[in-house]
């Protein structure tokens, strides 16, 4: 009853921001993302007879804080859903900085859902895996898939993400690392607060239009349209936070945003998006990489291509 799985992080082009059901992690609106190749999490899960509770190691360190509680709660859901009476040792190792707005919860819970599926031999479909991963972290529902994926909000417990099957090998994101420390306000907390933002309804309304426009732009592989829609969607999401005295932008975040605009004035199709942290993800295509990266030499840069769907193997 042991398995290992790897899942890749994803970055939203149309953001998931707000839940209509906290416990079930049901989103207010649909979202769309790109799973990336360079950020991933490996999860090993070993169910054992003689354990009195779950045990969590992250990068070989025993964890007992709120990260443990979150994983333990997820494992309780697994035990309840699949009628399992065993606790497990969960070992996570990640090249994503946890809690820095680099989608660590997406890769973690997608990998954990898949490792549990293999260890318990549940034979879950992609849909069931996406639903299970969602119960750990909403955005994890999308990391079950490689490339572009769409998480339809749906109306009930079965809300899940599907692969959009868009073949666009030249599409790139570039992570510009401003600060990779753990953020003070997590995405779950911030999106909950946003529900009371005076701009929240405007965000939800616009994001429905953005989603449609984004799906068309992706079909056309039009980087100008894809980038423009994604950038405005991200700004609208972040605008819900501004009047709440909650924002993730640091001076460098704004500096990068301005530099991106300047590059566009020079006819380079490059756009930005930010999640629950100060780091910026640029959106472009392969042919413009050199022209872009030379403008951000002062920051660590990670060029991101399409990442694979979750995978793994049963060990025993
Ligand atoms: C800004 O999936 O981390 O990255 O469901 O509470 O775990 P929980 O939230 P989480 O939120 C991600 C928010 C975002 C936008 C996105 O990925 O769509």
Please report whether residue 107 resides in a domain.
yes
What CATH code is carried by the domain that includes residue 248?
A: 3.30.70.890
pLDDT of residue 100: 61
Ligand 1, atom 14: closest residue by C-alpha: 275
How far does residue 16's CA lie from ligand 1's centre (Å)?
6
Q: Which residues of 148-171 are buried (b: 16+ CB within 10 A; e: fewer)?
A: bbbbbbeeeeebbbbbbeeebeeb
In a domain, 315, yes or no: no
In a shared domain, residues 42 and 119: yes
Same domain for 115 and 147, yes or no, is yes
Judge if 17 and 161 occupy the same domain: yes
Claim to verify: residue 228 and residue 251 sit in the same structural domain: yes
Q: In the prediction, which pLDDT does 179 show?
A: 86
| 316 domain residue, yes or no | no
CA separation, residue 313 to residues 43, 116, 190, 238 (Å): 11, 11, 36, 39
Statement to judge: residues 218 and 268 lie in one domain: yes
| Whether residue 226 is found in the same domain as residue 107 | no
Q: Using CA positions, which residue lies closest to atom 4 of ligand 1?
A: 275
Is residue 40 a contact partner of residue 7, using CB atoms and an 8 Å limit? yes
Ligand 1, atom nearest to 138 Cα = 5
Which residue shows structure tokens 């073949």? 167
Let me know if residue 17 belongs to a domain: yes
Q: Best mutation site among 35, 73, 186, 191 for ligand 1, i.e. most ligand atoms within 8 A of its Cβ?
A: 191
Residues 250 and 277 in one domain: yes
Residues 15 and 142 in one domain: yes
The number of the ligand 1 atom at minimal distance from the alpha carbon of 101 is 4
Q: Give the pLDDT confidence of 50-106 residue by residue, as tens digits.
A: 999 999 999 999 999 999 999 999 999 999 999 999 999 999 998 876 666 676 899
pLDDT one-digit tens code per residue, 228-258: 999 999 999 999 999 999 999 999 999 999 9
Q: What is the pLDDT of residue 104?
A: 85
Q: Residue length, the chain?
A: 316
* pTM, rounded to two decimals: 0.97
Asked, for residue 254, whether it belongs to a domain, the answer is yes
| Separation between Cα atoms, residue 13 and residue 74, nearest integer Å | 27
Final residue of a structural domain among 167, 192, 212: 167
The verdict on residue 314 lying in a domain is no
Residue nearest to atom 7 of ligand 1 (CA): 137
Residue 23 lies in a domain: yes
Q: Give the pLDDT of residue 166.
A: 97
Number of domain units in the chain: 2
End residue of a domain, out of 117, 133, 167: 167
Instruction: Select from 113, 145, 167 the last residue of a domain.
Output: 167
Residue 311: its H or E element: strand 311-314
268 and 125 fall within a common domain: no
Q: What is the pLDDT of residue 310?
A: 98
Q: Does residue 313 lie in a domain region?
A: no
- Do 239 and 222 lie in one domain? The reply is yes
Is 150 in the same domain as 196? no
Residues of the chain where predicted confidence (pLDDT) is lower than 50: none
- 3-class DSSP state of 218: helix
Q: What is the pLDDT of residue 98?
A: 65
Read off the CATH number of the domain in which 33 is found. 3.30.230.10
242, 179: one domain: yes
For residue 184, the model assigns a pLDDT of 78
Residue range(s) defining the domain that contains residue 91: 2-167
């Amino acid at each position: 009853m042991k398995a290992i799985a790897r899942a890749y992080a994803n970055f939203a082009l149309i953001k998931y921001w707000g839940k209509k059901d906290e416990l079930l992690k049901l989103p207010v609106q649909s979202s769309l993302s790109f799973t990336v190749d360079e950020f991933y999490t490996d999860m090993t899960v070993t169910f054992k007879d003689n354990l009195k509770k779950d045990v969590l190691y992250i990068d070989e360190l025993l964890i007992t804080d709120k990260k443990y509680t979150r994983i333990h709660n997820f494992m309780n859901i697994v035990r309840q859903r699949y009628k399992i009476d065993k606790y497990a040792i969960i070992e996570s190792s990640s090249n994503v900085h946890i809690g820095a707005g680099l989608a660590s919860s997406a890769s973690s819970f997608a990998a954990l859902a898949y490792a549990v599926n293999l260890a318990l031999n549940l034979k879950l479909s992609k849909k069931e895996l996406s639903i299970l991963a969602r119960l750990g972290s909403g955005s994890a529902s999308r990391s079950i898939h490689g490339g572009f994926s769409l998480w339809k909000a749906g109306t009930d417990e079965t809300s899940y993400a599907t692969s959009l099957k868009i073949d666009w090998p030249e599409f790139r994101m570039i992570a510009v690392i401003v600060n990779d420390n753990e953020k003070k306000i997590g995405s779950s907390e911030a999106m909950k607060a946003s529900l009371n933002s005076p701009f929240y309804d405007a965000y939800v309304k616009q994001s429905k239009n953005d989603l449609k426009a984004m799906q068309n732009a992706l079909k056309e592989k039009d980087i100008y349209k894809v980038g423009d829609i994604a950038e405005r969607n991200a700004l609208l999401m972040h605008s819900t936070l501004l009047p709440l005295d909650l924002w993730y932008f640091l001076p460098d975040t704004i500096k990068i945003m301005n530099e991106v605009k300047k590059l566009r004035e020079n006819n380079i199709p490059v756009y930005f998006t930010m999640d629950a942290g100060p780091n910026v993800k640029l959106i472009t295509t392969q042919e413009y990489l050199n022209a872009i990266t030379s403008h951000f030499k002062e920051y660590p840069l990670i060029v991101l291509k399409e990442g694979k769907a979750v995978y793994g193997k049963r060990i025993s």
